[in-house]
Amino acid sequence: MTQRVTATIDVAAIRHNLRVVRQYAPTSHVMGALKADAYGHGAVRVAHALDAELDAIAVACLDEAVELSDAGCQTPCVLLEGLIDRSELPEVIARRDRLVIHAPWQLDVLRRASSEARIPVWIKLDTGMNRLGFDAARASAIFADVDAMPQLQLLGWMTHLANADALDREATEAQLAQFFRAVEGLPGARTVANSAGLIAYPEARQDWVRPGVMLYGASPLEGRSAAQCGLRPAMDVCSRVIAIREVSQGAAVGYGSEWVCSEPTRLGVVAVGYGDGYPRHARAGTPVLIRSQRVPLIGRVSMDMITVDLRGCPEAQVGDSVRLWGDGLPAETVAEHAGTIAYDLFCGLTNRVRYLERGA
Ligand SMILES: *Cc1c(COP(=O)(O)O)cnc(C)c1O
């Protein structure tokens, strides 16, 4: 079988990135975020690479936890959205997954539950993101409620930072202050930090940290590169040049004839498009790497192809490998040209992409 678009996952880089997490937060337990198929890196693969080294695995939902244990993963899973429906509870109890409780309806379901072993729960407080969580001001009342349910085992308290990646620190400092005030004197562990929080805010490195994107080697911070954070990219996405064309001045390239050549142009057609997860909104000028040189995208991204300007790389030939992101071309850079974030590129790869692995 030929390999058209490949995503090579460097599991040694993922292990390295976990060591970086431990350097930033040496006394914290680590709950690695492996949700969304480990941000497109393959949850089973990443779990096997890190299984013995993570203290817990954060997934979005029960299905993702089941996939991991079916594959032999032993690390306890935390369901970040908790129950999606009450019908999940018997399976969650039987599997001993850890639940995040973030809404009154979930407490009501648990109130009526009976379980031989106590159900381990994190309580999520909202400190300003206004997405999931109980109002932080109600923490004591929620605690009293949970404490009165012998079927529950309170692991601790969680909140999520909305702006930890931003240069402006004010909003995050307010969230941190609100959280610490809310849980003061209450029993249980604390967990606040995603990747950005644990790098940029030492006070956010509490009993547990919850790194996601940094495990995969992308920078979580505005204005700081992955390399500056000590991280190594773990995903390398490549395709190939399948045609080279000499296009005359004034000729338009691709759908909508949006790109018009201002001079005779040698262009390359690369076998990757939005049907593979290459971002359709990547603008003209988005770089790709051919023979270690950055050459710019021109014209619109199609389902199966993109076109690139080869004027800066005259030695390029049909069959050349083309790196879309990875070593030498951070996903963050490509994402910025496409008006998105690296997370979105990672998660967006489709099942047409062939996965390979190195560093095992
Ligand atoms: C996804 C997620 C994380 C990890 O976030 P990163 O920005 O990828 O580090 C941490 N906590 C919660 C609640 C999440 O949903």
pLDDT of residue 2: 73
pLDDT of residue 116: 85
- Tell which one of 21, 29, 35, 80 to mutate to probe ligand 1, the residue whose CB is within 8 A of the most ligand atoms: 80
Question: What's the gap in Å between 33 CA and the centre of ligand 1?
Answer: 6
Strands 265-270 and 259-260 turn out to be: unpaired
Find all residues with CB under 8 Å of 209, minimum gap 6, and list them. 21, 24, 25, 28, 29, 30, 31, 191, 193, 197, 198
Question: What's the gap in Å between 31 CA and the centre of ligand 1?
Answer: 10
pLDDT of residue 115: 83
As a whole number of angstroms, the distance between CA 34 and CA 40 comes to: 9
Burial track 244-269 (b if 16+ CB lie within 10 A, e otherwise): eeebeeeeebbeeeebebeeebbbbb
Question: What's the gap in Å between 285 CA and the centre of ligand 1?
Answer: 31
Annotation marks residue 24 as catalytic = no
Task: Output the residue whose Cα is nearest ligand 1's atom 6.
Answer: 212
- Tokens found for residue 293: 């040189």
Element (H, E) at 244: strand 235-247
Task: Output the residue whose Cα is nearest ligand 1's atom 3.
Answer: 194
Ligand 1 pocket residues where CB is under 6 Å: 33, 35, 80, 160, 194-196, 210-213, 220
Annotation marks residue 278 as catalytic = no
Based on the number of CB atoms within 10 Å of its own CB, is 41 exposed (0-12), middle (13-18) or buried (19 or more)? Answer: buried
How many CB atoms are closer than 10 A to CB 27?
Answer: 8
- Tokens found for residue 110: 């648990």
How many CB atoms are closer than 10 A to CB 127?
Answer: 25
Pinpoint the alpha helices (H) of the chain. Answer: 11-24, 35-40, 43-50, 62-70, 89-95, 104-111, 139-147, 170-183, 195-200, 331-337, 342-348
pLDDT of residue 1: 66
Give per-10-residue mean pLDDT for the chain (360 aa).
91 98 98 98 96 94 98 96 97 97 97 91 97 97 96 98 95 98 98 98 98 98 96 98 97 94 96 98 98 97 98 97 97 98 98 95
> Catalytic one among 35, 124, 201, 216?
35
Atom number of ligand 1 nearest to Cα 160: 13
Tell me what percent of the residues of the chain surpass a pLDDT of 90: 97
Question: What's the gap in Å between 258 CA and the centre of ligand 1?
Answer: 38
